[in-house]
Amino acid sequence: MSYRLSSKKFARVKEKIISYMKINYNIKKVTFLDYDSLKKDSDRIDSESDGIYYPDTRKIYVRAEDRSYVEQLITLLHECGHVVTISNNAHNYHIYYSNSFAKDIKEIKSNNSRIDLIREEIVAWEEGFKLNKELRVNIPWNIYGVEYRGSMITLIESLNFK
């Protein structure tokens, strides 16, 4: 099964998600940038990152360069998943995340913090997929899941559990 988007459909779907997040979760800004611009604007971004959500400013950034429309939407949905998770107060990891997130993931020292980060990411991926269905974006699980699993594998490998 494939999921293709024209530039027009991408723009429509992207705006639908952004509007929903602004109305329902008071998101202030969503920006799609190339990596260099994203890096300039974020001290928490690394070469593995495709997006980031800042709870303190209520802004979402998505890396656009060298990524398909589908990959960009999946990242947007995932970052929106962080918004939903924090808004629903699903757990309190966001306190750590927003106040003391390591600039480099390798700086995270405790296994408990590593586990909290993994949990936060899993919940955000799941909430993003729920939004995908709720907003009728309709990216199939077999496509969304590839990004989800790939991202989680990269994260887990980078955490250097001891």
Q: What is the pLDDT of residues 83-120, one digit of tens each?
A: 999 888 755 554 444 434 445 565 666 788 788 888 88
Q: Is residue 2 part of a domain?
A: no
Q: Is residue 1 part of a domain?
A: no
Q: Is residue 115 part of a domain?
A: yes
Q: Is residue 16 part of a domain?
A: yes
Please report, in tens digits, the pLDDT of each residue of the chain (162 residues total).
Answer: 567 889 999 999 999 999 999 999 999 999 998 767 666 655 555 556 788 888 888 999 999 988 999 999 999 999 999 999 988 875 555 444 443 444 556 566 678 878 888 888 999 999 999 999 999 999 999 999 999 999 999 888 888 776
Helices (H), the chain: 7-25, 35-41, 69-87, 93-100, 111-134, 141-158
Dist CA 60 CA 53 (whole Å)? 4
Q: Is residue 13 part of a domain?
A: yes
Q: How many domains does the chain have?
A: 1
Q: Is residue 20 part of a domain?
A: yes
Q: Which residues contact 45 (CB under 8 A, 6 or more apart)?
A: 38, 39, 52, 61
Instruction: Identify the DSSP state of 32.
Output: E
Domain containing 18: what range? 7-158
Q: Is residue 21 part of a domain?
A: yes
